[in-house]
């Protein structure tokens, strides 16, 4: 397995040390959603980083304590041997941990086998539609029930950006809904329903490839029925972009969740399997 985008993946060390600016951090976090390799690397390095951060905090606490208890500059004496030894030990530990962390990362990077994947499909969606057996599949409109008493919750009232976007969705203006829901996610990056209906709107607007990212975010942020729906519609997006094996993985997730969409997922999964085994 390898990083899907080494240009972004090489930011991992700066990310762990908190050295990325806001724009770089946002780009790297989005990359972690797509790249299993970097996601695993971040969690693999977590024990090393916790030790490093703890030693750094301890060193800072000692320095603050020494400064607070030090006499005035006029009467200040040279640092005690104990203090100098403590600083040297802390600095040595930090150096060893940093070098070990870099060595482990480089060894894992060199020893990682090549990831065998299908080349990314960059065909225009119009061309995929002409060749894919799923091009004529009708995307069902995901149900949406507006709140019975809008305005009771902060940010979810009748005039909230989300509700205005969903008004366009209910009127089947999916292009406008997608545009407005994307804006909602920028205002509130943890708004799982906005990501979900943004993805569905893109699917219904025949922009299946674009729908994949928001649906993945909805899976990551959502739970319960919303997460189940997100897996199901992500499977539809993969089928529409002629990636049936990825669709099968999502349909398996839906069946495992054993919710409202299980029956539909099982039927669609059987169709996909029959098509893949047609030879």
Q: Write the secondary structure of the chain as one string of H (helix), E (strand) and C (coil).
A: CCCCCHHHHCCHHHHHCCCCCHHHHHHHHHHHHHCHHHHHHHHHHHHHHHHHHHHHHHHHHHHHHHHHHCCCCCCCCCCCHHHHHHHHHHHHHHHHHHHHHHHHHHHHHHHCCCCCCCCCCCCCHHHHHHHCCCCCCCCCCCCCCCCCCCCCCCCCCCCCHHHHHHHHHHCCCHHHHHHHHHHHHHHCCCCHHHHHHHHHHHHHCCCHHHHHHHHHHHHHHCCHHHHHHHHHHHHHHHHHCCCHHHHHHHHHHHHHHCCCCHHHHHHHHHHHHHHHCCC
Whole-number average pLDDT of the chain: 77
pLDDT > 90 fraction of the chain, expressed in percent and rounded: 36
When mean pLDDT is compared across 83-87, 148-152, 166-170, the lowest value belongs to: 148-152
Q: How far apart are CA 186 and CA 188, in angstroms?
A: 5
| Residue 128 reports pLDDT greater than 80 | no
* pLDDT for residue 201: 96
- pLDDT per position as a tens digit, 16-42: 777 777 767 777 777 776 777 887 777
Confidence band of 11 (pLDDT split at 50, 70, 90): confident
Tell me if 134 sits within 8 A of 239, measured CB to CB: yes
**Range with top average pLDDT, 7-21, 97-111, 210-224:** 210-224
HSE of 173 in the Cβ direction (CA atoms, 13 Å)?
11
The set of residues, in sequence order, having a beta carbon less than 8 Å from that of 167 and lying 6+ positions away, is none
Please identify which residue in the block is written with the tokens 């399997």. Answer: 273
pLDDT > 70 fraction of the chain, expressed in percent and rounded: 64
HSE of 231 in the Cβ direction (CA atoms, 13 Å)?
27
* pLDDT for residue 31: 76
Other C-beta atoms lying within 10 Å of the C-beta of residue 114? 7
| Residue 170 reports pLDDT greater than 90 | yes
* pLDDT for residue 253: 94
| Residue 141 reports pLDDT greater than 80 | yes
* pLDDT for residue 197: 96
- pLDDT per position as a tens digit, 212-246: 999 999 999 999 999 999 999 999 999 999 899 99
When mean pLDDT is compared across 27-31, 98-102, 252-256, the lowest value belongs to: 98-102
Greater model confidence, 131 or 94: 94
Helix-helix angle 22-34:208-221, to 10 degrees: 100
Nearest to 197 by CA among 212, 184, 178: 178
- pLDDT per position as a tens digit, 171-213: 999 999 999 998 888 888 899 999 999 999 999 999 999 999 9
The set of residues, in sequence order, having a beta carbon less than 8 Å from that of 23 and lying 6+ positions away, is none
Confidence band of 102 (pLDDT split at 50, 70, 90): low
Mean pLDDT (whole number) for 140-151: 76
* pLDDT for residue 23: 67
């Amino acid at each position: 397995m390898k990083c899907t985008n080494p240009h972004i993946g090489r930011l991992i060390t700066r990310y762990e040390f908190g050295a990325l600016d806001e724009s770089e951090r946002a780009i790297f976090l989005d990359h972690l959603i797509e790249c299993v390799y970097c996601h695993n690397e971040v969690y693999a390095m977590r024990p090393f980083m916790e030790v490093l951060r703890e030693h750094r905090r301890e060193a800072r606490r000692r320095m603050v304590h020494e400064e607070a208890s030090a006499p005035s500059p006029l009467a200040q004496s040279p640092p005690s041997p104990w203090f100098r030894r403590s600083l040297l030990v802390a600095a040595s530990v930090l150096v060893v941990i940093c070098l070990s962390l870099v060595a482990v990362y480089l060894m894992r990077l060199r020893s990682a086998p090549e990831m065998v994947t299908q080349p990314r499909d960059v065909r225009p969606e119009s061309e995929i539609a002409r060749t894919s057996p799923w091009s004529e599949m009708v995307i069902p409109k995901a149900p949406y029930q507006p709140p019975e008493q809008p305005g009771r919750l902060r940010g979810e009232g009748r005039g909230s950006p989300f509700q205005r976007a969903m008004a366009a969705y209910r009127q089947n203006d999916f292009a406008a809904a997608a545009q407005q829901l994307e804006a909602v996610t920028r205002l509130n990056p943890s708004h799982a329903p906005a990501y979900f209906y943004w993805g569905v709107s893109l699917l219904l607007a025949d922009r299946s490839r674009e729908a994949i990212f928001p649906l993945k975010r909805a899976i990551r942020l959502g739970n319960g029925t919303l997460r189940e729906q997100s897996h199901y519609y992500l499977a539809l997006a993969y089928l529409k972009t002629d990636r049936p094996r990825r669709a099968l993985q999502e349909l398996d997730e839906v069946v495992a969740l054993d919710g409202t969409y299980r029956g539909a997922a099982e039927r669609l999964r059987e169709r996909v399997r029959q098509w893949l085994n047609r030879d």
